[in-house]
Structure 1
Amino acid sequence: MAWSYGLLFDNAEAFLSYMQNNLSTSLDGCHVHHTYRPEHKNFKGNNHKKLQDTMKKAHKARGFSTIAQHITIFPDGKIMTGRNVNLTPASAVGYNQNNAKHPFMFEMIGDFDKGNDTLEGKQLETAVKIARYFDKKGKKILFHRELLQNGKSPKSCPGTGVNKAWFLNLVREKTQLPVPEDDYVIKVANHKLYNRPLSYKVPMLKGNDVLALQERLQITQDHLFGPNTRDAVIQWQQTHDMRDTGRVYYGVWDALFQHISKKDNNRFYHRKLQYVTPLQRGVDVSRLQKRLNVPTTGYFGEVTDEAVRIWQTNHDENGRPVEDGKGLAITGVVDQQTWSALFPGE
């Protein structure tokens, strides 16, 4: 299969296998960038292609033949293919070389200047693994800010919050990748931020990711995804506003192992509510769920997201029922307008 734009890969390993099968040039280094814009807040969990297409359009408006980067790394750690890897990137003037020999370039969605987004979790893991692939081959890992123009650093890219020595220590495994953990998440020893889809089937799925799942759910640890594990997943999904399918897909992995927001005790409108990772949690979510007549879990997950969208479809800004297609904008987001329609008079 030839290189294609817009392919989405779950992790670094899957992408690197694809790249090696489609590589016909010499890659002599790796250039690391952050997008600055879009930021983490622009990523909704399912808009990978839309965000990258927006960048591609902006790059072409600047006179580039196509998108600048070979791949984009998203906050969920997934990778989308961009410019053909066999073509020189638009990384930095004077450093792009030629099609026969050039650096590999990746962009990470986010603004990693201090005080803004944080490079962590699956996104960090993927970036580190991509850089490690080149580092092990003796290729230089260069940050955009190291690609000097007239002797000066052109930008802070990939952000003042990303220290080069820290990043290289992770690449060279002198420092271990951190595991997300807070009061509501159990740390799993050697957890590698798994994302393989898991479900009960015959023969049963087996592996360290199943073990990590069983440890997280505090059930018998036999490395096998059997009926007991499926039932435990269903029970967990029911208490966290996820569809009780018994299947573990990337959204469930995220909710299981990434941070879950601290409980918010304000029952009135004071923030936008939507289905994001970390899952929003609070009294306002519970109140919304009661209003929508869905299970009151206190977590804003898939079921609540769908209920909001249905309600928006069938109600106007005053909360009055309307015919299909004449309701509020169907976003799944409970902003001030939707909240006011749900709770008139507040």
Structure 2
Amino acid sequence: MPVYASANQLNVNEVKEGDTLPSIAQSYEATIDDLQQTNGLNMQGQHILMTREEFKNWLFNNEFTREISLIQQHHTWLPAYAQFKGNNHFQMLESMENFHKSEMGWNNIAQNITTFPDGKIAVSRPFNSAPEGTIGPKANANGLTIENIGNFDIGNDTMTAEQKETIVYLTALLCIKFGLTPSVDSITYHHWWHLKTKERVLDNAQDYDVKTCPGTGFFGGNSTESAKKYFYPLVSQKIEQLLAEMK
């Protein structure tokens, strides 16, 4: 089927909840291959895979209706680096989506964003849809979930430089987009939320009442002090750099 002029009008920024490449192709009277080539889409199912720069363009060309005031940092624990083969981004995303639906009983993949060891970023769950997950409804209500592929507990995966840069970069972009200043109230770790009560406990909990997520080795640790000392300063520096570049 030939590509009509209307296919050129589609931009990755316009992809909405429930859209897939087959449904988009049908709407625009185009083949999937031609649609991807014409619009630069790297998409499978609901999952859009992007470089850092592509994510930046996507983010600032989208408007969201849901209030977003909390960025969640998670690690997958499993799948970890051993399961990443360098080109199986979509396979991993679809496996997580299927697990979240069939085993956890959620209506979609839990996370909005996924980062990979090679520095790539995937957007799956629409930003206008609150995330799901064991962190609980209070954190999710105005939250945006980032799942970082890897097991970042000490003694397991050592985060690559590419993924480290991506996590800082996209967190900074989200802070700019949603008007947030890095702090425990705007960038949260799963470790700070009680498994049973779903209340925020910060560092004041027994180990058996909280997860280690995003990992005991995540940017120096998973405590509030490690976030303030090692992670937030990197995000703040990146915010300043990005704002200077945007002028």
| TM superposition score category, shorter chain reference | 0.5 to 0.7
2:168 to 111, 121, 128: 128
2:125, 2:131 within 8 Å by CA — same for their partners in 1?
A: yes
| Residue 2 (structure 1) shift | 2.4
**Which 5+ residue runs of structure 2 have no aligned equivalent?**
1-13, 20-45, 222-226, 239-247
Greater shift after overlay, 110-119 or 1-10? 1-10
1:134, 1:141 within 8 Å by CA — same for their partners in 2?
A: no
State the partner residue of 1:144: 190
Q: Quick one: which amino acid aligns to residue 173 of structure 2?
A: Y
| Residue 159 (structure 1) shift | 0.4
Number of matched pairs: 170
| Residue 22 (structure 1) shift | 4.7
Higher normalized helix content (fraction of residues) = 2
Q: Distance in 1 between matches of 2:140 and 2:94?
A: 25
When normalised by structure 1's length, the TM-score is: 0.46
2:132, 2:140 within 8 Å by CA — same for their partners in 1?
A: no
**Which 5+ residue runs of structure 1 have no aligned equivalent?**
175-346
Q: Quick one: which amino acid aligns to residue 110 of structure 1?
A: G
Q: Distance in 1 between matches of 2:217 and 2:139?
A: 25
1:114, 1:160 within 8 Å by CA — same for their partners in 2?
A: yes
Per chain length, whose mean CA-contact separation is higher, i.e. which structure has more relative contact order (CA < 8 Å, sep 6+)? 2
Higher Cα Rg: structure 1 or 2? 1
Q: Quick one: which amino acid aligns to residue 35 of structure 1?
A: T
Matches within 5 A, 1:88-99: 88-91=130-133, 92-98=135-141
Q: Distance in 1 between matches of 2:152 and 2:138?
A: 23
State the partner residue of 2:158: 118
| Residue 147 (structure 1) shift | 2.1
State the partner residue of 2:232: 168
Name the Cα RMSD after superposition. Answer: 1.9
When normalised by structure 2's length, the TM-score is: 0.64
CA-to-aligned-CA distance 1:78-130 (integer Å, 9 cap, x gap) = 011111110110141132454xxx11111010000000101231111111112
Aligned residues: percent identity?
34
| Residue 25 (structure 1) shift | 2.0
Q: Quick one: which amino acid aligns to residue 54 of structure 1?
A: S
CA-to-aligned-CA distance 1:275-333 (integer Å, 9 cap, x gap) = xxxxxxxxxxxxxxxxxxxxxxxxxxxxxxxxxxxxxxxxxxxxxxxxxxxxxxxxxxx
| Residue 143 (structure 1) shift | 0.8
Greater shift after overlay, 41-50 or 116-125? 116-125
Q: Distance in 2 between matches of 1:127 and 1:113?
A: 17
Q: Distance in 2 between matches of 1:154 and 1:8?
A: 31
3-state SS of the aligned residue for 1:90? coil
Q: Quick one: which amino acid aligns to residue 15 of structure 2?
A: A
2:70, 2:139 within 8 Å by CA — same for their partners in 1?
A: no
1:89–1:134 distance in 2 versus 1, CA, 3 Å: same
2:153, 2:215 within 8 Å by CA — same for their partners in 1?
A: yes
CA-to-aligned-CA distance 1:154-202 (integer Å, 9 cap, x gap) = 200000011223122211229xxxxxxxxxxxxxxxxxxxxxxxxxxxx
